[in-house]
Amino acid sequence: MTDFTTGLDDLAIETPSWAYGNSGTRFKVFAQRGVPRDPFEKVADAAQVHAFTGAAPTVALHIPWDRVPDYAALADHAVDHGVRLGAINANVFQDDDYMLGSVTNPDPKVRRKAVDHLLECVDIMDLTGSRDLKLWFSDGTNYPGQDDIRARQDRLSEALTEVYARLGDDQRLLLEYKLFEPAFYTTDVPDWGTSFLHCVALGPKAVVCVDTGHHAPGTNIEFIVALLLRAGRLGAFDFNSRFYADDDLMVGAADPFQLFRIMFEVVSGGGLDPATGVAFMLDQCHNIEPKIQGQIRSVMNAQEATAKALLVDAAALKAAQAEGDVLGANAVLMDAYNTDVRPLLAGWRESRGLDGDPIAAYKASGYFEKIVAERVGGTQAGWGA
């Protein structure tokens, strides 16, 4: 097991540029005040999260939402604000061409367009120095018979193979899965098994991305985490929480005990060690809550779950498990979970020169009032912008 302080030091959470823009449901996107109007403002907001938590050193980009003429300038801008650019998220779901799919579309012209976009994303990675290409495909069908399930898998495989071949030696392809939405009958990568199958076929640079909100009801996510770590194919997390479907609430908000169990598998499987390459990212929609505060709270929730996981008495746990002591083993785990780790985390922050209470410090900083005043005019960033 990792040492407590080392574990917290190792936990780097990437925040997504799109979390700072407006988001919503199909029913309504509510506009908030002070929302960024371009990628530079998004990066500035992300830098605030790191400034107050010390645990969010990188920011993920979404292409084309974050397309800029000069990626080096954006990277410099990030460094100037104390953060770095992270994963590149491809987007092949918001052109009218993609109505029936992108890389699995029955029309080869649309597939070509989609693959070209993915290749462009690798070009951008070369410019930004990003390690990870994150691929989520909204591809699927809405009606039985609409398309051929196996043919779509063949097309998917063909597209992934071409993109994989384009990766540099230090670059990775993260293949995300999702049960449903926006496709409502089949989704072409609906579960970890499908993602794993394709990653194994591709090679060692292809790894699975686990979005904690993308599973069927009742799915045991920490089990999947343990399996993928064991198989060397856990590439990344997209963190968020949900009560129903892909609700994209703040991670830890809906089921903090589940987040703890997930982080316990990460910790005990060695996944906090940077050498394993597991990336921790947020992917959330702050539809009704302030966005920067929502990100800060999410980072704190992830830290609290990790801190509790680090407190588990591994030797006592192993002993109880070996004896078949069901209640004893469970009690060892719960003992860590029931601990109030907030003082420990405040201490960790203060030892790094940060305020023990990131939310209060952020609120006191006046940053929110400043951006509300400054960001007048222009078009607010949001889904698709």
Round to whole Å and give the CA distance between 380 and 24.
Answer: 14
Scan for tokens 């076929």, then name that residue: 201
Nearest residue to 133 (alpha-carbon basis) of 142, 124, 141: 124
- DSSP of 44-100, one letter per residue? HHHHHHHHHHS---EEEEEETTT--S-HHHHHHHHHHTT-EEEEEEE--SSSGGGGG
Is 80 one of the binding residues for a second copy (CB under 8 A)?
A: no
Is 313 one of the binding residues for a second copy (CB under 8 A)?
A: no
Q: How far is the CB of 126 from a second copy (least distance, A)?
A: 28
Q: How far is the CB of 77 from a second copy (least distance, A)?
A: 28
Could you say which residues in the range 108-137 bind a second copy, by CB under 8 A? Answer: none
Is 267 one of the binding residues for a second copy (CB under 8 A)?
A: no
Q: Residues 6 or more apart from 131 whose CB is under 8 A from it?
A: 87, 125, 170, 171, 172
Task: Give 122 or 266: the residue with its C-beta nearer to a second copy.
Answer: 266
Which of these ranges, 10-18, 54-62, 246-254, 275-283, lies near a second copy under the rule CB under 8 A?
246-254
Could you say which residues in the range 188-217 bind a second copy, by CB under 8 A? Answer: 190-194, 196-197, 200, 215-217
Could you say which residues in the range 89-108 bind a second copy, by CB under 8 A? Answer: 93-94, 96, 98-100, 106-107
- Which alpha helices (H) appear in 98-245, and where do they start and end? 108-128, 149-166, 192-202, 221-230
Is 40 one of the binding residues for a second copy (CB under 8 A)?
A: no
Please tell me whether residue 220 adopts helix, strand or coil conformation: coil
Round to whole Å and give the CA distance between 220 and 264.
Answer: 13
Is 380 one of the binding residues for a second copy (CB under 8 A)?
A: no
Round to whole Å and give the CA distance between 131 and 381.
Answer: 25
Q: How far is the CB of 354 from a second copy (least distance, A)?
A: 19
Q: Which of 66, 139, 147, 238 binds a second copy (CB under 8 A)?
A: 147
Scan for tokens 């992300």, then name that residue: 46
Which of these ranges, 35-43, 72-80, 165-173, 333-341, lies near a second copy under the rule CB under 8 A?
333-341
Retrieve residue 76's tokens.
Answer: 């410099």
Q: How far is the CB of 273 from a second copy (least distance, A)?
A: 15
Which of these ranges, 50-58, 68-76, 224-232, 271-279, lies near a second copy under the rule CB under 8 A?
224-232
Task: Give 85 or 300: the residue with its C-beta nearer to a second copy.
Answer: 300
Q: Which of 30, 73, 129, 158 binds a second copy (CB under 8 A)?
A: 30
Task: Give 48 or 128: the residue with its C-beta nearer to a second copy.
Answer: 48
How far are the Cα atoms of 87, 153, 195, 217, 235 from residue 132, in angstroms, in the given order?
5, 23, 16, 29, 9
Q: Residues 6 or more apart from 287 whose CB is under 8 A from it?
A: 23, 24, 25, 29, 30
Round to whole Å and give the CA distance between 57 and 12.
Answer: 7
Q: Residues 6 or more apart from 100 whose CB is under 8 A from it?
A: 106, 107, 110, 141, 146, 147
Scan for tokens 């609906």, then name that residue: 190
Which of these ranges, 47-55, 163-171, 273-281, 338-346, lies near a second copy under the rule CB under 8 A?
338-346
Is 257 one of the binding residues for a second copy (CB under 8 A)?
A: yes
Is 3 one of the binding residues for a second copy (CB under 8 A)?
A: no
Task: Give 35 or 75: the residue with its C-beta nearer to a second copy.
Answer: 35
Which of these ranges, 35-43, 53-61, 337-345, 370-378, lies near a second copy under the rule CB under 8 A?
337-345
Is 287 one of the binding residues for a second copy (CB under 8 A)?
A: yes
Is 64 one of the binding residues for a second copy (CB under 8 A)?
A: no
Q: How far is the CB of 377 from a second copy (least distance, A)?
A: 18
Q: How many residues sit close enough to a second copy to count as binding (CB under 8 A)?
A: 106
Nearest residue to 50 (alpha-carbon basis) of 374, 352, 266: 352
Task: Give 56 or 249: the residue with its C-beta nearer to a second copy.
Answer: 249
Cα angle 322, 227, 174 (rounded to 5 degrees) comes to: 155
Q: Which of 218, 275, 353, 377 binds a second copy (CB under 8 A)?
A: 218
Is 367 one of the binding residues for a second copy (CB under 8 A)?
A: no
Amino acid at 1: M
Report CA Rg, the chain: 21
Draw the binding track, 5-24, toward a second copy (x: CB under 8 A; -: no contact): ------------------xx
